[in-house]
Structure 1
């Protein structure tokens, strides 16, 4: 009996420590077993799947700041190549060096002078010669007595006749317009019906306009379009 007591006195501390460790291990075992029973037979597989589950990243492209976008280097612009057959005319080889003749002007002042009476359209104006109010269907260009009258545009003489109010009249057709020169001296007309005239070509000389004698020497010029009188100044160059 004394031996047993002395044994426990010498090694009893270690035996008690071993018993405590064994009790703790048993408690841990029973705790783990109870947890496993609570989750059921699929606990191991679910835990395994949860541990190995892969995370799917969203397929969203990250926007790049404008400042981070590289700017492409500008390529030097190439000069346009000169193509043959362009609209520019080349100088003829072996030419005399003289400049090409300038095209004929499309409009020439029919008589040297200033416009003193404009086209009135539908507005009535006072006629000092006839002492009444009427429309003025053309323009009056004051000039020197017996001044030369020139064709304002190129065309064809379509009519020549005398009028008691407007004197000798020469009409020149140019496209859709008819230019009517009134008040020419009867013996001064230098063209005939059917003649082609160029801009600036002489038609005759200024005579007398009986309906406008109070205005002094002048050319009365009218323009007709489709048979209707229009403002001649619309077609002055």
Structure 2
């Protein structure tokens, strides 16, 4: 009997051991299945754990509406100068003193015919050839050397340096000067007229001498204020103190 009960007890313990093994195996299998499912679910549906993004958040690259941005317009201000601009004075080529010749004033006759009739005067050319470089003009003309505009109250006759300068009329030598603008100058007076020769080189007469028409009174030199022109002699005529065109009296036979 004792052996029988002992055998039964062994069978019961074996059955319990088998039941415990299968229960533990089942629990492990369930745990493995749950782990596999969880991993699979995470890989297949990753957005399941990223559900923290607010549903009303604006998508990237989606245009934003309902927002108005005001950009201020730039403003530029200018401050006016508090001090007056300096006055600009343009330089002149010569001084006021040099602008007007010292031996020639600006008095001239408005009526050439009246001047001619008031003078019993007949002149010849002061140099051979009689070519005119610059004519007489009571209107202002441009003088390049001085960089000024002024009347040209004489007639310029072309000649080479050293050529003889001849008396245009007979008369008395009343003045011999050396002017800074006109150069060496001789004046010969007859009745109410004065003949002026400027730009001489050598002077062969003296004040007080008497000359005849055609006499040599000097040689051709230079006229400082007309040095830009070709070589010439500057001849002027004054009748009753007023300048007149020398050409009006050349060839006017007595």
| Short-chain TM bin | 0.5 to 0.7
Instruction: Give the SS at the match of 1:111.
Output: coil
2:152 paired residue among 132, 136, 141: 136
Does residue 189 of structure 1 match 2:203?
yes
For 2:137, the equivalent position in structure 1 comes to: 120
Counterparts of 1:227 and 1:145 in 2: how far apart (Å)? 30
| Matched-pair contact (CA < 8 Å) for 2:133–2:230 | no
For 2:221, the equivalent position in structure 1 comes to: 207
How much has 1:161 moved relative to structure 2? 0.7
Instruction: Give the SS at the match of 1:214.
Output: coil
Superposition pairs for residues 81-160 of structure 1, below 5 Å? 107-113=123-129, 114-121=131-138, 123-160=139-176
- In the alignment of these two chains, the number of paired residues is 130
Which protein has the larger Cα radius of gyration, Structure 1 or Structure 2?
2
For 1:25, the equivalent position in structure 2 comes to: none
Instruction: Give the SS at the match of 1:211.
Output: helix
How much has 1:108 moved relative to structure 2? 2.6
C-alpha spacing 1:161/1:178, structure 2 compared with 1 (3 Å): same
* Moved >2 Å (runs of 4+): none
How much has 1:198 moved relative to structure 2? 0.3
Superposition pairs for residues 141-180 of structure 1, below 5 Å? 141-180=157-196
Instruction: Give the SS at the match of 2:204.
Output: coil
When normalised by structure 2's length, the TM-score is: 0.49
For 2:238, the equivalent position in structure 1 comes to: 224
Deviation track 1:164-203 (CA, whole Å, cap 9, x = no partner) reads 0000100000111100000111xx2111111110000000
For 1:198, the equivalent position in structure 2 comes to: 212
How much has 1:211 moved relative to structure 2? 0.3
When normalised by structure 1's length, the TM-score is: 0.53
For 2:77, the equivalent position in structure 1 comes to: none
- Structure 2 gaps of 5+ residues are 1-121
Counterparts of 1:229 and 1:177 in 2: how far apart (Å)? 10
